[in-house]
Amino acid sequence: MPAARKAAVRELAMRGYELEAGVMEGQLHRSTEDGRWMVGDTLLNTWLERFSDQQVCLILASLEDDRPLPTRVCRTCGTEYTGTECPRCREARIRLRGG
């Protein structure tokens, strides 16, 4: 997997943690015992039960996807970049705000 795509997926997961949302990472597979879907050692049905009767947005991203990230154009400065954020604006933000 290209490093930029992996970084984008990790960034998305980090935002989920910051929102105190349900975030899970591991190998997706079916249980050999009963055929139910699992991520790592966690049954998805059990994990999803805590969101029962709520409107949700479910995002599933593979860490093994080999597609390159598309080139984007920053809406602020017009710079073309690949990744999760514009590097030019990020540098300016760090320089001006200290982080």
Tens digits of pLDDT across the chain (99 residues):
577 788 888 888 999 999 989 999 999 999 989 999 999 999 999 999 999 999 998 888 888 888 888 899 999 999 999 887 899 999 999 999 875
Rounded Cα gap, residues 44 and 48, in angstroms? 6
CA neighbours closer than 13 Å in the CB half-sphere of residue 55: 0
The reported pLDDT for the residue numbered 1 is 59
The reported pLDDT for the residue numbered 99 is 59
Strand partners of residue 39: 28, 42
The reported pLDDT for the residue numbered 44 is 93
The reported pLDDT for the residue numbered 5 is 81
